């Protein structure tokens, strides 16, 4: 009787030893899921659209008159939204500027220099860049009139 | 009266959680490594629209300019142009292409200031960001 009782105790002890301790994974998985949701919302993979601008190397500006297309943009006056645009000494609208870009020679199309006054809205300059790029102008440079 | 040992709970079908946990950890590591956090500027910026556009990888150190000419690099405000120039100089190795995200209503002068300062500090590749939405203009 005593012997049987001792064997039972031994079996229970063995079973206890064999059973590995259970770790509750649920809270950790909850945390990990929250982290994943955070990273998924805060991450962006889509590329950013933009227009590349070429700038000359820093140094003294040359006195040579640049070749190609030169667009001067005056500050908007009299409550107008956009400033007056002058392409190679000729006042142009957006449509006319686009057709002039399109019909320019390949050499002239190599570069467009935008000479815009400081007060010209950025939107207008981007619009000119957009037209020039769509018409096949390769490089776009900037100059300021110092106003 | 029913007496006796309480009934043991029936063990339900056990789901093996290990593969799920593995996948979740892999996803977590992937997002942690590849993420570029959206860093909003300290002010609102409405980008101009353009149909012609190139695509640039999203990186850190974008210059934001708001409608009244305030400048920030990501979420860090720049008190003046000199501070911006110093910042660009110290981080120029990390900047592949400097992306200028200027508000469409801002003055062109502020944008050229930033471009000139970046160029002076040896950053040659500069791009002007445009609106990510489809072009809605008529021209």
Q: For A107-139, write each residue's pLDDT tens digit.
A: 888 888 898 898 999 999 999 999 999 898 888
Which positions ≥6 away from B122 have C-beta within 8 Å?
Answer: A58, B89, B92
β-pair partners for A53: B126
Residue of A nearest to B38 (CA): A42
Residues of A in contact with B130 (CB under 8 A): 49-51, 126, 130
φ and ψ at residue A58, rounded to 5 degrees: -65, 145
Residues of B in contact with A130 (CB under 8 A): 50-52, 130
- pLDDT the model gives residue A146: 43
Q: Helical H runs in B60-107?
A: 81-90
Report yes or no: A119 at the B interface, CB cutoff 8 Å: yes
What count of Cα atoms within 13 Å lies in the side-chain half-sphere of residue A86? 10
Which positions ≥6 away from B58 have C-beta within 8 Å?
Answer: A44, A45, A46, A47, A48, B36
Say yes or no for a CB contact (<8 Å) between B36 and A44: yes
Plot region of A122 (φ>0 → left; ψ -120 to 50 → alpha; else → beta): alpha
For chain B, which residues make up each domain, given as ranges? 39-139
- What interface predicted TM-score (ipTM) does this complex get? 0.74
Say yes or no for a CB contact (<8 Å) between B28 and A95: no
Tens-digit pLDDT profile for residues A56-96: 666 666 666 667 789 999 988 888 888 999 998 889 999 99
Mean pLDDT calculated for residue range B89-102: 89
Max CA distance (Å), chain A: 118
Most confident segment among A4-18, B69-83, B122-136: B69-83
Q: Looking at domain A69-144, which of 3.30.420.270, 1.25.40.10, 1.20.1260.10, 3.40.50.10420 is its CATH number?
A: 3.30.420.270
CA distance linking residue A64 with residue A47, whole number of Å: 38
For chain A, which residues make up each domain, given as ranges? 2-42, 69-144
Q: Helical H runs in chain A?
A: 2-18, 26-42, 94-103, 122-134
Residues of A in contact with B119 (CB under 8 A): 55-58
| Residue A56: how many other CB atoms lie within 10 Å | 13
CA distance linking residue A111 with residue B32, whole number of Å: 42
């Amino acid at each position: 009787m005593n012997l049987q009782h001792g064997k039972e105790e031994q079996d229970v002890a063995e079973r206890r030893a064999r059973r590995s301790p259970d770790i509750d994974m649920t809270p950790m998985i909850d945390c990990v899921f929250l982290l994943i949701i955070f990273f998924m919302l805060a991450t962006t993979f889509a590329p950013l659209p933009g227009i590349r601008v070429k700038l000359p190397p820093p140094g003294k500006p040359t006195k040579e008159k640049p070749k190609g297309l030169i667009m001067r943009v005056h500050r908007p006056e009299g409550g107008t939204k956009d400033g007056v645009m002058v392409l190679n000494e000729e006042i142009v609208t957006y449509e006319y500027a686009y057709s002039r870009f399109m019909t320019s020679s390949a050499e002239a199309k190599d570069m467009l220099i935008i000479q815009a006054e400081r007060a010209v809205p950025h939107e207008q300059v981007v619009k000119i860049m957009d037209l020039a790029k769509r018409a096949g102008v390769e490089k776009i440079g900037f100059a300021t009139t110092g106003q | 009266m029913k007496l006796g040992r309480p009934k043991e709970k029936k063990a339900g079908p056990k789901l093996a959680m290990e593969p799920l946990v593995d996948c979740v950890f892999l996803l977590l590591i992937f997002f942690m490594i590849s993420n570029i956090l959206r860093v909003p500027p300290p002010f609102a910026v409405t980008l101009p629209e353009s149909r012609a556009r190139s695509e640039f990888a999203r990186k850190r150190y974008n210059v934001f300019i708001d409608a009244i000419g305030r400048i920030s690099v990501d979420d860090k405000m720049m008190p003046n142009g000199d501070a911006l120039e110093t910042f660009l100089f110290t981080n120029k190795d990390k900047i592949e292409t400097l992306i200028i995200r200027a508000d469409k209503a801002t003055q062109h002068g502020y944008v050229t200031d930033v471009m000139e300062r970046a160029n002076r500090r040896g950053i040659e590749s500069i791009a002007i960001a445009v609106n990510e939405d489809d072009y809605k203009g008529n021209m």
